[in-house]
Amino acid sequence: MNQAIENNLHWTLDVTFKEDQARLRAGHGAKNMAVVRHFALNLVRQAKDKRSIKRRRKRASWDSQYLRQILGRLRR
């Protein structure tokens, strides 16, 4: 079961962020970017609308108000 979860996460990161095409391979850069991608994916997943993750990400890049709404979830 854990492998299925890991495969699903990898697939989501690859489709949404094109992780397999990333050119960072050596040093800490690859691990640092993986952390940033996971963080961003978790924020986008928490958005309460019916859009796909890919569309939420795209809208956040175009609409600063929507981006603020997603990032507003950081405050508690």
Q: Which has more confidence, 18 or 1?
A: 18
Residue 14's pLDDT is 67
54: how many CB neighbours lie within 10 A of its CB? 13
Longest dimension (CA), the chain: 38
The encoded tokens of residue 15 equal 């489709």
Predicted local confidence at residue 53, as pLDDT:
85
State which of 7-11, 24-28, 33-37 shows the largest mean pLDDT.
33-37
For residues 41 and 56, the answer to whether their CB atoms sit within 8 Å is: no
Per-residue pLDDT band for 6 (boundaries 50, 70, 90) equals low
pTM summary value: 0.66
Could you read off the pLDDT of 31-71 as tens digits, one per residue?
A: 888 888 888 888 888 888 898 888 998 999 999 999 999 88
Amino acid identity for residue 61 in this structure: S
Give dist(CA 57, CA 67) in Å, integer.
Answer: 9
